[in-house]
Structure formats: structure tokens, C-alpha cells
Structure 1
Amino acid sequence: MPRKLLKFLILFDNTSLLYFPGQFLSGRVLIELQDNTAALGLHFHVVGEGVVRVQTHRQERVYDKENYIDFRMRLLGEPGQGPSMLSPGIHSFPFKLGLPSGLPSTFLGKHGWVQYYCKTALREPNGLTHKNQQVFIVMNPIDLNLEPGIFRNISGQETFKCEVEHKFGVSCVGSGAVVCRVTLDRGGYVPGESIGVSASVSNRSRITIRSTKAALTETITYMARGKIVQVEKRELTVLTKGKIRPGGKDEWINEKLYIPPLPPTNLRGCHLIRINYDVFFIVDPSGLQKEVKLQLPILMATYPLKTGDDDNSLKAGTHYPSTLPIFRPWLEEKPL
């Protein structure tokens, strides 16, 4: 029996498949037929959803879902009417709709996702239904230039400082402490940039510091039914320095932590998945002493800060929304 349906495609006008909230999603459903074909209807459905699916240690499955887009329309046919006859050749059925503002960015994780896609179905009177589906990407950008003033100084450039001082006494050896101050060059970044880490570690105790370490970490929190059901933590980039003997001191001067391609901080508009980034500075003492861990939260954005000289230019090496990382298998190699 010859095949009637030669092509059945969803084609977007934007071939990059990348959209921002508030933009128009437009394109066409293209059908190519070899023979006359009766059709009861051509249905078109746009879906945006957030899903969390976790299997607990007790082998229980926890599931939750929220919808961001649920738009349905008929591109051919009306309810209650008879079939339409489509002639051989190519038929094009356009669609266009405005995406809501405030949509969360596309994200695919191990235990949940935010996903956007279009589905279309061509129904024949004999009960046969042809289906197709096409994913598109939504990026809800975070622009560091539009964030609250804590990420900008008066001049609009240079230092965005987070500074912490932590002391701990070593009771088993009498008096003494380790004093640690850590400063980041700012509080917000975009992938492709590097975080400048400066630190001063003064060992006033009688024990040896085995190492100091700075680490960029990602924390993904999955929620279901109002509760946290899974948390993933990963070290993304690490810098390490060696021993500091009793009475010694070490200085970190603008050491660079590179930021790989990453989704932005949080999924704004999504209530099931949270993404946070931190720089941890860790002092690891010898013996049975507990490590000192200083946590400095940072904002991961999609548009970098502009300086007075480059308002209309893009920084070389930074990653912009067109490189939104959807699949990130390399992260599985670095569990925390």
C-alpha cells in the first residue's frame, strides 16, 4: 500500500529554537501528501511544564508537576463538521502565540526538568492519527546590570566584595586559632568568566594546616508536594594550595576559578526546582580537628556587567543564552 503522508513537520520561524518570555512563538505545520487524503482535523498543542520525579530509598516514587503553558488550537477542521479533503502536494498551516512573561528557563536534571514543546496530530476518518512533536528552548535571562545594588559598586565596575573572617580555637593544644579572610572580586558572574578569589590564612595555632581549597559548587534542590525530596551538590571547579605550618601564613591573590557553561541561579517562575551556586573556601587542619568552611553565595546570570568602555560590546569568552546548556552529562563525573 503506498504511503500517503510523505512529510509531517513542525517548523519554527526561529531556527535556533531559543525564545525569551514575552516573545512570539511562530511557525507552521508542514504536511506533504502523495494522494488525496481526508482529514477530520489538525490539532496543535503547546506545552510548558515543570516536573519532579524522585524514587526514595524505600522505593517509593514521589511525583509533582506544574504547568506554565497549555495552549490548544485547531489548524484544520471544526468540531462537529465532516472531514476535509487535502489534495496531493505540500500544505502549510501557520501558528503564532505570545509566550507568557515570567516563564522559567528550560532545564533538564537528574530528578526533574522544565521543558517546552509543541505537539501536533492529524486525524483521519478511519481512526488513524499521525503525531509529531518538537521541543523548543526558553531562556529567562538574568542581567547583572539590572540586579539589586549589592552586585554593583558606585562606579558600576570592578570590586563586588564578599568578605568573611572566621576564627576557631584548638582546645586540645591550648591557645591558638586560624584566622581566615576571603574576598571575591564580585558577587555575580556569567558562564565563561572566572571568579577572582583572594584570601589570607594565618595559622596562629600549634597544628599544621594540610591544605586550603576554593571550590565553585552547584546545589540543585527538588521539591514535591511542598517538601524537599532530593538535593544534589556538585563541585564544578576547584583550586587547592598546600601546607601552612604553625605560625605560618598564606595569601591567595586573585586566583581564578573558571565557570563552565551552567544554567542561571534559580529557575525563576518554577516552584519545584531551585539552583544555587556558592564559592566555598575550606581550611583543612591536620589531626582530628574539623575543617573550616566559609560559604560565599554568588549569582549566576546570563548577561554580564557592562563597564564604561564596553556598553555595546560582548566580553570575549563569556557564554550567552544561545549556548544554554540543556544536557550536562559531564556533571555526573564530579559528585560532591
Structure 2
Amino acid sequence: MDFFDILLDRQTPLFHPGDLIVGKIVISLSKKVKVNKIKILLNGIANVGWLEDKTSRNDTKYVHANKNYIHLDLILIENKSMEAGRHKFPFSIKLPDTLPSSFQDNHGSISYSLKALFDIPWNFEKSTKKDLTIYSNVDLNSFVGLAEPKTVSVRRSSGFELFENNNIRITLAVDKTGFAPGEPVIFTATIQNETSKDLKHIKMNLVQNCKFNIDNESKEIQKKISTIEYANHVAKKSTQKWLCSNWILPQTCPSSVDEFDLVKISYNLELKMTASIGFKKWKEKMFCYLFSTKVSLAKISWNTWMNFGCEN
């Protein structure tokens, strides 16, 4: 066998649930061979696992689980002879309408792949594999208020309760709460610094929250996906407005739809800053939840829903 591969009709192997996967298996032979079968397999599986400390001793146990989302086995030819030369075997597979998005992490993954098998008598089975990326679908037209602006205000003390004017007041506003990757997040952060110290290192972070669930066990980790930093600092006893319109949402795994799945993905939008109070560093953080899905009526892949809140 000189060549054996899976070729897809689209250049990038990115799909949504309900899409049609169209492609062909291409085989180049240097001589005539008898073939038991040639088939294509589509697999989608979640794998989750991590080391968990035992309570009784210092030992650890490995907690793990998996879940199949799709397994399809399609035979293209069976019990035939193939002449030397180049051969093509077209196939088309329709994805189910509901599938979770692809995801990869050290503690868990949701992965999809096509695998072609070439089985000939009295020989080892040959195979080739192509990984797929799938983004899940949700119609955001069913959610109300995504095109409306949203504002949240908080007040935080510097920690010196004996002093009345040691507060930091923050108002964060966005012009809408529905976004697509590649769109700018337009926001205004008004920071009123009543303390006697400057506020520095003011940043907005997009943070991905990953929660892995196995029965009654769970593990949570966070990853910073994107950051934009304010060019100035807020001097003591002053107020500044940070108007931002050039922070572009990156392409990243959409948030999970199924609350009870093995892998749960969500996003926080955090506003952070640092102030030197005595010998300590002080940080304030506000966040919003990002819920990423596909809009069926818009010419974009998937959108983002934000619901603001404050972290104590």
C-alpha cells in the first residue's frame, strides 16, 4: 500500500451537530490484493480522570469515567479484489442534532474522530485517523435581552474599617450581552479611588472554568483565555473611566449546555486591579458568565451570553 488517507470535502474539519460530513477514503496499491472489508468509523467520547487523595491515609486513587456520544460503523466494500492503482471510496455521515463541543484538558476531554480500516486476509489491519472539531448548537433567539446593555456597580473597602473614605467604587457596563467570537467586547469601567494609594495593573480577563464530574466526585480548574490591560493607573482620591472597544473575543470552546455532563465549561469576565495597602497587595474582581452557543439565524458560528454578578 503506497497511500491510505481520509480526505474531507471541507478544508477545515470543524462541524456543528446536524452537519453532514462528506469525504472519501483514498487508497493507492502497488499490486492486486484481496480485501476482507474497508470501513469508516465515527467516534465521539468523553474521558475524565484525575488522582484523588484518600481521607484515611496518604494514598491516592485514580478517579475516572467515560461516556460515548456517538459510534457509527459504515462498511464501504466487503470481500472484493482490488487492482493495483488509486481507489476512492466516498462516504457521507450526518451528525446527530445534539452533541457536546470538543474539548481537551489534562483532566478530561471530549473528542471526535473518523477512522478508516483496511482489512486484508492473513495480514494486520491497517488504519488511518482524522480528528474532528465539533461546536454545539443552541438558538440564542430563545434567550431574551441579549441585545440590551448591562451595568453592575460594587463598592469595596480597602480593609481599614476605621477610616470612612477608604473605598473603591467600580461600575462596569457593556453595550450588549450577546457576542460572537471575533467581535469586540465594548465596555466602560468607571473606577472611583477614594483610598490613599494608587490603583495599578487594571486588567480585564476572560477566564475559562472547567468542571469535571464523576458521580459524587468533581474537580474544577481555571484557565485565562484572554487579557486586556488598562494603559493608565488610577491615582489616589481620583476617578477614571476606561472605555474599551478593541478587545476581541477569541475562538475558544463554547460553554456546555448539559448541566449534568462529565465536562462542564463556563466563562468568567473578570475586572482586576492591585493597590499597595501597607505591605500587602489588594485585588478586586468582578465577573460575568459567558455562555457560548450557535445562533441559527445569524451568519456567525456561535454567540456568547453574559450574566453579570459580583464575587465576594
The TM-score normalised by the length of structure 2 is: 0.79
Matched residues in 1 for 2:233 and 2:297: separation? 34
Name the residue aligned to 2:188: 198
Change (3 A) 1:84 1:282: closer
Name the residue aligned to 2:310: none
Give, in angstroms, the shift of residue 46 of structure 1: 0.9
Matched residues in 1 for 2:249 and 2:87: separation? 47
Give, in angstroms, the shift of residue 303 of structure 1: 5.8
Q: Which amino acid aligns with 2:221?
A: V
- Is 1:185 matched with 2:185? no
Decide which of 247, 250, 257 is 1:257's aligned counterpart: 247
SS of 1:150's equivalent in the other structure is coil
- Is 1:149 matched with 2:141? no
Percent pairwise identity: 18
Decide which of 200, 203, 216 is 1:214's aligned counterpart: 203
CA offset digits 1:195-245 (Å, max 9, x no partner): 22212222345x324326232222231414133224123162132341431
CA contact (8 A) 1:103 1:268 kept: no
Give, in angstroms, the shift of residue 169 of structure 1: 6.9
Higher helix share: 1
Structure 1 unaligned spans of 5+ = 78-82, 154-159, 307-313, 315-319, 323-336
CA contact (8 A) 2:168 2:193 kept: yes
Q: Which amino acid aligns with 1:152?
A: A
CA contact (8 A) 1:182 1:197 kept: yes
Matched residues in 1 for 2:19 and 2:297: separation? 24
Decide which of 29, 32, 52 is 1:33's aligned counterpart: 29
Spell out structure 1 runs of 4+ moving beyond 6 A.
Answer: none
Name the residue aligned to 2:74: 73
Matched residues in 2 for 1:201 and 1:68: separation? 47
Q: Which amino acid aligns with 1:215?
A: M
SS of 1:122's equivalent in the other structure is strand
Decide which of 80, 90, 97 is 1:84's aligned counterpart: 80
Give, in angstroms, the shift of residue 258 of structure 1: 3.3
Matched residues in 1 for 2:179 and 2:152: separation? 17
CA contact (8 A) 2:205 2:271 kept: no
Give, in angstroms, the shift of residue 71 of structure 1: 0.6
Matched residues in 2 for 1:15 and 1:249: separation? 51
- Is 1:242 matched with 2:233? yes
Count residues in correspondence.
292
Matched residues in 2 for 1:270 and 1:21: separation? 19
- More divergent stretch after superposition (168-177 vs 89-98): 168-177
Q: Which amino acid aligns with 1:66?
A: K
The TM-score normalised by the length of structure 1 is: 0.74
Name the residue aligned to 1:233: 223
Describe how 1:151-166 pairs up with structure 2 within 5 A.
151-153=146-148, 160-166=149-155
CA offset digits 1:284-319 (Å, max 9, x no partner): 34324853322233344566997xxxxxxx7xxxxx
Matched residues in 2 for 1:54 and 1:292: separation? 32
Root-mean-square deviation over aligned CA pairs? 3.2
Decide which of 263, 266, 270 is 1:276's aligned counterpart: 266
CA contact (8 A) 2:208 2:225 kept: no
Describe how 1:280-299 pairs up with structure 2 within 5 A.
280-287=270-277, 288=280, 290-299=282-291
Higher strand share: 2
Q: Which amino acid aligns with 2:145?
A: I
